[in-house]
Amino acid sequence: MERRLATILAADVVGYSRLMELDEERTYSALRVCRAVIERLIEIHGGRVFGGAGDSLIAEFVSPVEAVRAAFEVQHKLASMSFDLPEGQRMQYRIGINLGDVMIDREDLFGDGVNVAARLEALAEPGGICISGNVHECVDGELRFGFDDLGFRELKNIIRPIRVFQARLSTTAQAKLPSPPPSSNKPSIAVLPFENMSADPAQVYFSDGITEDIITELARFQQLLVIARHSSFHYRDKAADVLRIGRELNARYVVEGSVRRSGDRIRISAQLIDTVTGTHVWGERYDSKLTELFSVQDEVTKRIVAALAVRVEEEDWAKARRKPPDSMRAYDFWLRGKRSLDLYTHGGNLEARQLFEKALETDPDYSRAHAGLAVTYDRGGFYSAWDVDPKASLQKAEDHAKKAVSLDDTDPLPHVVLGWVHLGRREFDQAKAHLERAMAINPNDADTLAKSALVLAWSGEGAAVIDLAQAAIRLNPHFPSWYQCFLAGCHLCAGEYPEAVAIWERMPDATPETRAMLAAACVIVGRLEDARRHMAEFIRTYPQHFAGRPSARRVRRLFAFRHEADVDRLIQAMCTAGLPR
């Protein structure tokens, strides 16, 4: 028979038979109301009711933390409800919670794990909660609720003594119950301990170091909910049934891998698994020399972490595309809006704006949706033909960018967006400060590095930003085309014109300002015929993006370079290529 680990919640009405004897109809009516409330709260916290008769109820949770949260909310809610019952006939529940092994028979669960929960429920006071010691180990330090240790108790028909903790249901604790974590906007991921495949068992410290570094670095990505180390390391040296582990840890994705050292060589393998479908989303193997142990470890960790973050987002975006709009979360709307933004078109910008607005309708305090809206308005102000009032759009861009930063100062994306806004206003020092803050928060976010590189290049940081743009490409081998566009822009600002031309000419699509810079760079490297061809295309498409007719004065405003001499050089070259003065 199939078995698994489950958190079981058992609930029962105190003195139900006596209440039915006193007033059968009103007691049964109150029971139905209570049952509906309890089932709803269990569902909210990720549980499911699978059993119960009469006044009893038994539910299963994948997370002990959510089971205890649900129990506290049930008792708080029932205590505040007014039933049509005389004094002394108030309906109260006892609740017991246990984490244990269960047997599965279709939709039902059986075994000691269920039986212990039922015995704990019987120990609880009216309106109270009792939990087993193993549940307490999982929730201790994770919740603000207090528990009293009742010691080991002999429970009916249970062979071994069970350590029991009783919840302290103080008025203060009940007055402000903490809500579940806002995981609806974040896919959850757990990293299992990497297996030590080396001949020397003592090398487990190295595989553990890799695992811990990956967990730490993944936690920098604000769009991911990363399961804590102590939870994932619980599965060390156990057969990895990732579907079961996903249920138990409430993790949508699981990372597993191995480390093998042989002589002066090291091989690290990693794979990402969807715990709902069991499919392998991504897998990679890294081989390196072991000349500098910790630098190798750092480099491999960066590559794995960046690739994982990208793959999780790609997988979730694919799921969001298949969802009908009425079932999408704020996170799904943001993912789809981000993809529309990456089109760099007028239509894509409008679609992205609508999707980010829908995200804010779902979650008004979603920082990334505000950041996304800021980008759409910033582009609407830059491409003056895209929005009716470009000046108003630029102000909205600043407002939403600042709102995003105020909502989540620990997410690099809002800082990147606000840095772009400051760049457009030629506030170079402020732009640089926000970009440096973004990179300090998460140096492994490839998007952040690529965008920061171009902003810093326009701010006059020189050739050093080329390494930054190239690092972004190394971290994200499946980079979008705008990574290359930004890299070319960094070469241009560093005066490396042949390199800029070579990159831009390999790109199938180019933004209008990119085509103008390409024409200028071709003039500088002596390719006048190609320069005129690129400039002619820029002039032809100019009205689709910008108000008025193309001229040196109007085009000059597009380039927010710190040094005016750099702009002068570009504009002069563009005029040579055919830009009207």
Q: Where are the alpha helices (DSSP H) in 81-192?
A: 112-123, 133-139, 171-175
pLDDT at 159 over 70: yes
Q: What is the pLDDT of residue 180?
A: 34
Judged on CB neighbours under 10 Å (0-12, 13-18, 19+), 143 is: middle
pLDDT per position as a tens digit, 192-229: 888 888 766 666 777 777 788 788 777 777 667 777 67
Q: What is the pLDDT of residue 573?
A: 94
Which long-range contacts (C-beta less than 8 Å, at least 24 apart) are formed by 195-200? 195/256, 195/257, 195/258, 195/259, 196/258, 196/259, 197/258, 197/259, 197/260, 198/259, 198/260, 198/261, 198/262, 199/262, 200/261
More confident residue, 388 or 198: 388
Q: What is the pLDDT of residue 324?
A: 64
Q: What is the pLDDT of residue 496?
A: 92
Q: Where are the alpha helices (DSSP H) in 364-480?
A: 367-382, 390-407, 412-424, 428-441, 446-458, 464-475
pLDDT per position as a tens digit, 85-112: 666 677 889 999 999 888 888 778 888 8
Alpha-carbon distance of 155 to 46, in angstroms, equals: 28
In the chain, pLDDT over 90 holds for what percent of residues?
26
Q: What is the pLDDT of residue 142?
A: 73
How many other CB atoms sit within 10 Å of the CB of residue 197?
A: 16
pLDDT at 350 over 90: yes
pLDDT at 11 over 70: yes
Q: Mean pLDDT across the stretch 55-78?
A: 90
Sign of CA dihedral 525, 529, 532, 534: negative
Which domains are seen in the chain, by residue range?
A: 3-175 (3.30.70.1230), 183-322 (3.40.50.10610)
Q: What is the pLDDT of residue 52?
A: 78
More confident residue, 527 or 173: 527
pLDDT at 182 over 50: no
In the chain, pLDDT over 70 holds for what percent of residues?
87
- Token digits of residue 363: 């979650």
pLDDT per position as a tens digit, 285-310: 877 776 665 666 666 667 777 776 77
pLDDT per position as a tens digit, 224-253: 777 767 667 777 766 667 777 777 677 778
More confident residue, 190 or 175: 190
What integer best gives the mean pLDDT of the chain? Answer: 82
Alpha-carbon distance of 98 to 115, in angstroms, equals: 9
More confident residue, 471 or 206: 471
pLDDT at 311 over 90: no
pLDDT at 521 over 90: yes
Q: What is the pLDDT of residue 299?
A: 67
- Ranges 104-118, 423-437, 529-543: which has the least confidence: 104-118
Chain-centroid distance of CA 580 in Å reads 48
